[in-house]
Amino acid sequence: MEKNTSLEKLRRIDRECCLLARSASLLHWDLETYLPAQGVEERSEQLALLESLCHERFTSTETGRLLDELGSSADNPRGDEKLPDLERDFLRRTRMDYDRKKKLPLDFVAAAAKAEGLSQAAWVEAKTNNNFAAFLPHLETMIDFARRQSLYWGFEGRVYDGLLDIYEPNMGVSEIASVFTPLRERLSALLKKIASKPEPDFSFLNSGFDAQTQAKFNLELMKYLEFNTQRGRLDVSAHPFTTTLGSNDVRITTRYLPDNFLSSIFSTIHECGHAFYELDIPEELHVTCLADGASMGVHESQSRLWENVIGRSLPFWEGLFPVLKKCVPDRFDSVKAEDLYRAVNLAKPSLIRVEADEVSYSLHIILRFELEQGLFSGAIKASDLPSLWRTKMKEYLGIVPETDTQGVLQDVHWSHGSFGYFPSYALGNLYGLQFFRKLKEDIPDFDNILLKGKFSPIHEWLRDNIHKWGRRLSPGELLKKVTGEELSVDPFLKYIEEKYTAIYRI
């Protein structure tokens, strides 16, 4: 009875902290979508207050005492063996979060939250005006906060490992480099072969798509993918993202470029993949620390599975093409689904990561991974980033951005202090293809499902095998449970090489 009372009290604290965190997420969402420019300063203070309240509540002596009473310790985070598995998973995650957050001083947490709000607003302005110098002081501040955070956690001498561990537990620099090396070598070789072949014609997608037309199609696209618009919505932001404001309130954003219709299409599909994961979290995990993905790499596996493996396949476009033609009349009368399929699979180096094709995308990630390593090892100064960015773009992709807006300022992540996040995208490609192989084994008529646009069997498989676990399992545990395998680059590289060899007739 005493343990049940302790568990009930601990769950109450966890719920309060989850509600505070989601309230902060709402303010962040508004900051990136609708907040008036002059509201940034006070918004940053609001966020700092919420972060402080949440941190103070969660790291209280009461939380530590309750964990101890339930037998949860650093050596035995799952606590009393007599408790049900769900409760022991809850204790493990709570203990891990508690031990880490307890090491961060309250004034540090508040200051970092306020700096993040100011930094994000400064980034938007700097990107708009191609003014890296204006953003540099904020960037240096966020780097300092990230460095200090890792040091508080005890990662002396390997600061970047501490930051990587936030997003992909137990994956440090050496582990990530071991999978990135074969990715870089084989993808670079494939790009060179593709470059010798004629490009597909995609001129019919290059211009004349106003924001209203794109918005109309993207709403139809969400419905087509079976996104429940009673539990989420689509808005516009400078950089597409997904945020969970409640168990039945998941927001996604996209952006509309008049000369690049595909940008909004694939960012919407990508963010829908994230949202499906969040919306599939089972009710028993709602408003708890377990109501999230196993890791950012696993989360990205879902968004990139929908965006690329599904969203860039021929059966998918054969099914979706009539919807597109109805939303954009007269523009595709002389175009076939096969033409569109080749166009959306154009493999050509791009300056912008979120517009990159499947072949070159991971090279963008490796570039950022190496720059972040340098920043936190001390080998690189923040002021050197623009020139180093151009150098690495030339080396890895053979192109050089003319502006910092197209280069070092293109991503929002560093303005948030999200150093260590980028590798998750490429790791997501790897997880995604391993999950996909098992999915297709279990659903042999997969292509026919895409052709008909009836995605329920896919949604059900992902929910029952991946989404239902939330944060109960580590990434490695989840991958092993679903596929029986360890993380591997081979399924992804095999998929990429076979697909693009066929498209470009190499």
Q: Where are the domains of the chain?
A: 2-129, 173-504
pLDDT of residue 208: 78
Residue 1 in this model has a pLDDT that exceeds 60: no
Catalytic residue among 271, 307, 318, 358: 271
> What's phi and psi for 243, nearest 5 deg?
-140, 145
Quote the CA–CA distance of 277 and 88 in Å, as a whole number.
Answer: 23
Show the DSSP H helices in 328-474 as ranges. 337-344, 358-377, 385-397, 423-442, 446-452, 456-465
Q: What percent of the chain has pLDDT over 90?
A: 93
* Average pLDDT for 375-386: 97
271 noted as active-site residue: yes
Quick: pLDDT tens for 427-472: 999 999 999 999 999 999 999 999 999 999 999 999 999 999 999 9
Q: What percent of the chain has pLDDT over 70?
A: 99
Residue 475 in this model has a pLDDT that exceeds 90: yes
> What's phi and psi for 283, nearest 5 deg?
-60, -35
Number of helices (H) and strands (E) in the chain: give both, helices first. Answer: 20, 3
Local confidence band at 199 (pLDDT 50, 70, 90 cut-offs) = confident
Local confidence band at 2 (pLDDT 50, 70, 90 cut-offs) = low
Among 8-17, 116-125, 194-203, the least confident range: 194-203
pLDDT of residue 207: 74
* Average pLDDT for 466-487: 97
* Average pLDDT for 398-424: 97
Local confidence band at 206 (pLDDT 50, 70, 90 cut-offs) = confident
Quick: pLDDT tens for 212-227: 999 999 999 999 999 9
pLDDT of residue 202: 81
pLDDT of residue 63: 98
pLDDT of residue 333: 87
Pick the CATH number of 173-504 from 1.10.287.3510, 3.40.50.800, 1.10.1370.30, 1.20.120.1200: 1.10.1370.30
Residue 181 in this model has a pLDDT that exceeds 90: yes
Residue 156 in this model has a pLDDT that exceeds 80: yes
The secondary structure of 226-293 as a DSSP string is T--TTSEEEEE-SS--EEEEETTEEEEEE--BTTBHHHHHHHHHHHHHHHHHHHTS-GGGTTSTTSS-
Quick: pLDDT tens for 76-101: 999 999 999 999 999 999 999 999 99
Pairing of strands 242-246, 249-254: antiparallel
Task: Give, in order, the Cα–Cα distances in Å from 207 to each of 73, 330, 406.
Answer: 59, 14, 19
> What's phi and psi for 412, nearest 5 deg?
-80, -20
pLDDT of residue 239: 86
Residue 256 in this model has a pLDDT that exceeds 70: yes
Tokens at residue 141, please? 């501040």
CB-based contact 15:287 (threshold 8 Å): yes
pLDDT of residue 245: 98
Could you give the 3-state DSSP secondary structure of residue 173?
helix
Average pLDDT, the chain: 96
Quick: pLDDT tens for 303-360: 999 999 999 999 999 999 999 999 998 888 889 999 999 999 999 999 999 889 999 9
Quote the CA–CA distance of 398 and 391 in Å, as a whole number.
Answer: 10
